Structure 1
Amino acid sequence: MAAIQPIAIAGIHTDIGKTIVSAILTEALQADYWKPVQAGTLEHSDRMTVQELISNTRSRCHPEAIRLQLAASPHHAAACENREYDSCQFLFPETDNLLLVETAGGLMSPIDADHTVADFIACHKMPAILVTRHYLGSINHTLLCLELMRQRGIPLLCLVVNGHRDEASESFIGRYTGDSPVLFTGVLDPLNPGQIRDAAQQLKTSLSFLYEQHQPER
């Protein structure tokens, strides 16, 4: 039986909600979760956040490949610790479950001294779910990321809008997503496992195509 193809969770920018979306998708798909590089907040990492927010018993949250003390761009944080690593050489966690791989920052953010997040995704031949949210300038950031993914040959599985809705922005962005669906998390307040479960339940039907496309080959 062939392994299930991992899926990258990428973002148009930093702090747009990739970890929240990762928790929702992990819960909805009962998938495994992995963030390969964590820079800063090691005492309460994104892995720990996802672990606290999901409720199902199938998902596993795998330890990071690289843990860095400084809350900064990974290439800078690693340099401060005199550490070198190559994200294209990462060994992915062993699992027979679907693996969601949360990236750091935006698509053109450094993930190591020589590679961007886009390089990492393309190197490991992962399709990606792109996370966006609405703010002044987000249309530009979103479309630039979609264009970059096309240029790099990174398949777009879906676009996830995190937070509040903006129909004017969404109708414009929707012209550029092709056949890939646009999904919405809504506003989760307060953020807790119950809210994550509710958001996951609402997205399950829309995510059914992932079950079909990313099952093991027999």
Structure 2
Amino acid sequence: MNKRIFITGTGTGVGKTVTAACVTEALQADYWKPVQTGLSEGTDTNTILSLISNTTTICHPEVYALEAPESPHLAARMQQQSIEVDRILARLEAFDPSRQLVIEGAGGLMVPVNEEVFTLEMISRMQARVIIAAQNYLGSINHAMLTARLLQHTGVPVIGWIFGGDWHSNEEDIIRWSGIPRIGRIPQATTVGKAFIQEQAQLLSPSLHQLL
């Protein structure tokens, strides 16, 4: 069975990194963010390292680490670089295939990785299954359903939704309309630390293992 899990979001700022931390902790999986932008704000890999409690997880280094807090294609363009998806895929193939791997993307499915390839195509070429991180906000139903329909239309396998923030009845509608199951939800927290991640990982663990 393919052990690659790709965390995508319905948009930017919907809690992908916290979701990735909880899933990584729940599965004691490895973690990888192949393309990091916005280096001045820190890296998601370092955030994951600070939040994980288990001693099994390996956080693999980024293939590309770019300064500008922009989409990968634009951040690379600003540094006069080019992101090569084949290079990312070659790194992926070098990882231990027996280990579950949580891969965190940048933004949503239609974020361009480079001038030609969008995140959705990269996920497909990775042969990964997807967990969708979502939150409730004005327009979130549209973003969630577009994400779900695009994955279903292209045949990319979806494990389920992980919702974040405050609960809203929109979640039930999105699950019903999309036909994609809910893995769980991660509540809003004043402080996100190891204890919080460990607690949420334990709550997500039964559904995750069932759906995997």
Q: TM-score, with normalisation over the residues of structure 1?
A: 0.90
Report the residue type matching 1:171 in the other structure: E
Of 22-31 and 179-188, more deviation after overlay is shown by 179-188
Report the residue type matching 2:144 in the other structure: T
Please give the alpha-carbon distance, in whole angstroms, between the structure 2 residues aligned to 1:17 and 1:30. Answer: 19
Alignment-derived partner of residue 200 in structure 1? 201
Alignment-derived partner of residue 127 in structure 2? 125
Alignment-derived partner of residue 157 in structure 2? 155
| Aligned CA distance change for structure 1 residues 32 and 68 (closer, same or farther; 3 Å) | same
Q: How does 1:21-100 map to 2 (within 5 A)?
A: 21-41=19-39, 44-90=42-88, 91-92=91-92, 93-95=94-96, 96-100=98-102
In structure 1, stretches of 5+ residues that fail to align are 214-218
| Aligned CA distance change for structure 1 residues 154 and 88 (closer, same or farther; 3 Å) | farther
- Checking the alignment, whether the CA contact within 8 Å between 1:127 and 1:157 is kept in structure 2 is yes
> Which structure has more helix as a fraction of its residues?
2
Tell me the CA shift for residue 42 of structure 1: 5.2
Q: TM-score, with normalisation over the residues of structure 2?
A: 0.92
Q: Alignment partner of 2:17: what SS?
A: helix
| Aligned CA distance change for structure 1 residues 182 and 6 (closer, same or farther; 3 Å) | closer
Deviations 1:98-119 (A, max 9, x none): 0000000111111122111111
Tell me the CA shift for residue 122 of structure 1: 1.2
Alignment-derived partner of residue 188 in structure 2? 187
Report the residue type matching 1:115 in the other structure: V
Please give the alpha-carbon distance, in whole angstroms, between the structure 2 residues aligned to 1:115 and 1:197. Answer: 35
Alignment-derived partner of residue 110 in structure 2? 108
Please give the alpha-carbon distance, in whole angstroms, between the structure 2 residues aligned to 1:5 and 1:88. Answer: 20
Tell me the CA shift for residue 82 of structure 1: 1.4
Report the residue type matching 1:77 in the other structure: A
| Aligned CA distance change for structure 1 residues 208 and 5 (closer, same or farther; 3 Å) | closer
Report the residue type matching 2:50 in the other structure: E
- Checking the alignment, whether the CA contact within 8 Å between 2:21 and 2:48 is kept in structure 1 is yes
Of 83-92 and 43-52, more deviation after overlay is shown by 83-92
| Aligned CA distance change for structure 1 residues 179 and 80 (closer, same or farther; 3 Å) | closer
Alignment-derived partner of residue 216 in structure 1? none
Of 141-150 and 187-196, more deviation after overlay is shown by 187-196
- Checking the alignment, whether the CA contact within 8 Å between 1:4 and 1:97 is kept in structure 2 is no
Equivalenced residues, count: 208
Please give the alpha-carbon distance, in whole angstroms, between the structure 1 residues aligned to 2:157 and 2:40. Answer: 31
Q: Alignment partner of 1:166: what SS?
A: coil
| Aligned CA distance change for structure 1 residues 163 and 43 (closer, same or farther; 3 Å) | closer
Q: Alignment partner of 1:84: what SS?
A: coil
Tell me the CA shift for residue 80 of structure 1: 1.4
Deviations 1:49-68 (A, max 9, x none): 01100100001111001111
- Checking the alignment, whether the CA contact within 8 Å between 1:11 and 1:130 is kept in structure 2 is yes
Please give the alpha-carbon distance, in whole angstroms, between the structure 2 residues aligned to 1:66 and 1:184. Answer: 30
